[in-house]
């Protein structure tokens, strides 16, 4: 019997988890757990590329992990762990940094975007974090990486890094593929649908967070920006309406074309009400489970210790192979 493919996907604990993170990423992780060998790190070291609050950081990380679980990630079947608990991520990232031309990193769209957003803190980590991301993936020899559309470029970089390493030293790493869902891959901001919904967005009206109260979620959706045409159809010239249709399609698993049929002749109010109801129906049970899981932080920490042990074991195997391939003196004992 062949081994199931290794799947890895993670999220940085910055800001607040959004509907975009759920529909574009986490929801797709849940369905793969029976089929793939799944690793779901909380990529906490990525979050320190921007200024963070050390007093509240550990609790925020626990919130994120609790949300993973509340969304349906099962820590028995999958390996749920914290990136910083497995130092091999940084060791491999260093080796990859030595094999990644700086120009390639400068070209990354997210680097350009983040350099603009954090103009006073354009640090080396902001530029090199896609290399750490490549290490996160390749350390476990993951071949499936379910992500939203925004991560496609980073996956290409990961493949380039793996390919370069293999060509120089021998075939160590399989090439991973980005698995981008047909629906929900790019959920846009509610108040500014020209940009993606982003968990570190400081404008609350732009995002639906997984921990927003249901009434607040409904209010934000009902106030979302549309247009003056009053016709419900998916169309690049109608980003607000298209976004609402995408959200509804992803939340209810109904195709865009049938939604357009169903809403023919109806106004934006009807669409917004239905989107709000569907999103609340999706998020409310997650919130209930979250409260339950979060009420027992000791269990959460034990679960992460178990995840660390399982992840470390797999990581150590890859690192031995990498060190040997690079000609380093083997670590004995």
Give the interface with ligand AQP as residue ranges (CB under 6 A).
Answer: 11-12, 14-15, 18, 20-21, 23-25, 50, 147-148, 150-151, 184-187, 196-200
Residues noted as catalytic: 114, 196, 199
| Residue 263 C-beta: closest distance to ligand AQP, Å | 22
| Residue 319 C-beta: closest distance to ligand AQP, Å | 25
113 vs 313 by CB, closer to ligand AQP: 113
Can you tell me which residue has the tokens 């797999």? 314
| 189 and 196 Cβ atoms separated by less than 8 Å | yes
Q: How many CB atoms lie within 10 A of CB 178?
A: 18
193 vs 307 by CB, closer to ligand AQP: 193
| Residue 180 C-beta: closest distance to ligand AQP, Å | 8
| Residue 137 C-beta: closest distance to ligand AQP, Å | 12
| Residue 101 C-beta: closest distance to ligand AQP, Å | 23
133 vs 319 by CB, closer to ligand AQP: 133
| 50 and 84 Cβ atoms separated by less than 8 Å | no
10 vs 319 by CB, closer to ligand AQP: 10
10 vs 322 by CB, closer to ligand AQP: 10
| 70 and 113 Cβ atoms separated by less than 8 Å | no
- Torsion sign across C-alpha atoms 109, 207, 220, 187: positive
């Amino acid at each position: 019997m062949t081994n199931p493919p290794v799947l890895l996907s993670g999220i940085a604990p910055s800001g607040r988890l959004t509907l975009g993170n759920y529909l574009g990423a986490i929801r797709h992780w849940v369905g793969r757990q029976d089929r793939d060998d799944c690793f779901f790190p909380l990529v906490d070291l990525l979050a320190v590329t921007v200024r963070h609050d050390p007093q509240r950081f550990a609790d925020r990380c626990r919130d994120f992990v609790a949300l993973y679980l509340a969304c349906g990630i099962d820590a028995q079947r999958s390996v749920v762990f914290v990136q910083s608990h497995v130092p091999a991520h940084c060791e491999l990232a260093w080796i990859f940094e030595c094999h990644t031309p700086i120009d390639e990193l400068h070209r990354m769209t997210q680097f350009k975007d983040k350099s603009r957003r954090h103009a006073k803190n354009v640090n080396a980590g902001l530029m090199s974090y896609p290399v750490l991301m490549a290490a996160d993936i390749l350390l476990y020899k993951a071949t499936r990486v379910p992500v939203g559309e925004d991560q496609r470029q980073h996956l290409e970089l990961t493949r380039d890094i793996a390919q370069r390493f293999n060509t120089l030293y021998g075939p160590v790493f399989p090439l991973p593929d980005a698995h981008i869902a047909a629906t929900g891959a790019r959920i846009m901001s509610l108040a500014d649908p020209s940009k993606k919904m982003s968990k570190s967005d400081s404008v609350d009206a732009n995002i639906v967070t997984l921990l927003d109260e249901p009434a607040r979620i409904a209010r934000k959706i009902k106030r979302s920006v549309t247009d003056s045409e009053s016709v419900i159809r998916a169309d690049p010239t109608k980003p607000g309406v298209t976004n609402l249709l995408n959200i509804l399609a992803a939340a209810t698993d109904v195709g865009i074309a049938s939604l357009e049929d169903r809403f023919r002749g109806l106004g934006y109010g009807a669409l917004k009400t239905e989107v709000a109801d569907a999103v609340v129906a999706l998020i409310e049970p997650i919130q209930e489970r979250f409260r339950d899981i979060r009420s027992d932080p000791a269990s959460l920490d034990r679960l992460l210790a178990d995840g660390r042990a399982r992840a470390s074991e797999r990581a150590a195997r890859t690192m031995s192979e990498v060190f040997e391939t690079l000609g380093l003196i083997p670590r004995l004992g």
